Amino acid sequence: MRSLYISFISEFYKSRKTLAFWAAIILPLVICGLIAFGYYTSSEKILKYNYNGMMLWFQYSSAALGVMGMLILPFYVMFMAFSVNNIEHKNDTWKTLFSQPLNKFSIYAAKYLYAATLLLICIFLFALLTYSTGYLLQALVPKYTFNDYSPAIILSKFYMKLFLASLGILSVQFVLSLIWGDFLKPMGIGFIGTIAGIITANVGWKHAYLIPYSDPTLALKITKASKNARPEDMPIFTQEVWVSLAYGLILFIVGYFILLKRNIK
């Protein structure tokens, strides 16, 4: 456990000056900031629709969730998984890392855990900023109805699902970036995967959930469909979330053996 903790801290220390780390913070800030700005400047147009509290929150949060779940999240995950591993590829530091008196599995697990943590931070900030900017807009534009409904539970559930449904992509990209030191291969495969994911999820192919890249989109789609039921009752562990978790677990183990073999060369 100590090995894992030490390696995790070192991962943070190494990457705290890289774009992968800052993107986890800047991305939610910029996107939520832009949406809030839009809702502030075009408040009159939006007020015309006379949304009730829940619908307003729904419209407001899906602006971020839609862009995020479909495009930005997969691309951020690709870039981040690449970056966490590339730090060692680029500097040729795998050998140094593995000649430290630390358990090999801990070093690997810490890297994976760190990537997952960055994703969690990013998604948590999205949730937090959506929530807080909603109330900020209410204060700035008193005619808004954000105060009529508390979105805390539903927002947490949405983003929790999004996080869990992204772990599949994270694992695929993590393993690809372990194998290849260059940017193009994992990025190219990820790009094709994402496009395929969006298409299959949107045309409603019944096996789409088996493609990890469609899981985030599917996770959000189902929640949209179930909006007539009580939204707070939305289940988190749906089919695509389980598939994503299964991909995550299997590839996490596969990645370790790939890394062990890599070092033999």
Partner 1 sequence: MSRFAIETVGLNHHFGSQAVVKNLSLQVPKGSIYGFLGPNGAGKTTTIKLLLNLLQSPADTVFIFGKELNQNRIASLKQMGSLVEQPAIYAHLTGKENLINRCILLGIDKTKATEMLALVGLTEAANKKAGKYSLGMKQRLGIALALIADPELLLLDEPTNGLDPNGIIEIRNLMMDLTTKHGKTILVSSHLLAEIERTATHVGIINKGELLFQGTIGELQSLSKPSVKIEVDDQATAANILSSNGTEILNEIEGAIHIPYTGKADMGSLNSLLIKNGLTVYSIGTERKDLEHLFLDITSKN
Where on the chain is the footprint of partner 1 (CB under 8 A)? 2, 6-7, 9-10, 13-14, 17-18, 87, 90-93, 95-96, 98-103, 263-265
What are the distances in angstroms from CA 75 to CA 27, 162, 191, 194? 11, 14, 8, 8
Produce one character per residue of 177-190: b if its CB has 16 or more CB atoms within 10 Å, e if not: bbebbeeeebbebb
Which residues, 6 or more positions from 203, have their beta carbon under 8 angstroms from its beta carbon? none
Tokens 């995950």 appear where? Answer: 77
Least Cβ distance, residue 117 to partner 1 (angstroms): 17
CB atoms within 10 A of CB 13: 9
Smaller CB distance to partner 1: residue 95 or 230? 95
Smaller CB distance to partner 1: residue 103 or 202? 103
Least Cβ distance, residue 169 to partner 1 (angstroms): 26
Least Cβ distance, residue 12 to partner 1 (angstroms): 9
Least Cβ distance, residue 177 to partner 1 (angstroms): 17
Angstrom distance (rounded) from CA 120 to CA 245: 14
Smaller CB distance to partner 1: residue 52 or 91? 91
Secondary structure (DSSP) of 57-73: HHHHHHHHHHHIIIIIH
Smaller CB distance to partner 1: residue 101 or 204? 101
Question: What is the DSSP secondary structure assignment for residue 209, as one 8-state letter?
Answer: G
Least Cβ distance, residue 78 to partner 1 (angstroms): 20
Smaller CB distance to partner 1: residue 1 or 225? 1
* Intra-chain end-to-end CA distance of the chain, in Å: 28
Smaller CB distance to partner 1: residue 203 or 264? 264
Torsion of CA 123, 126, 132, 135, to 10 degrees: -130
Least Cβ distance, residue 126 to partner 1 (angstroms): 27
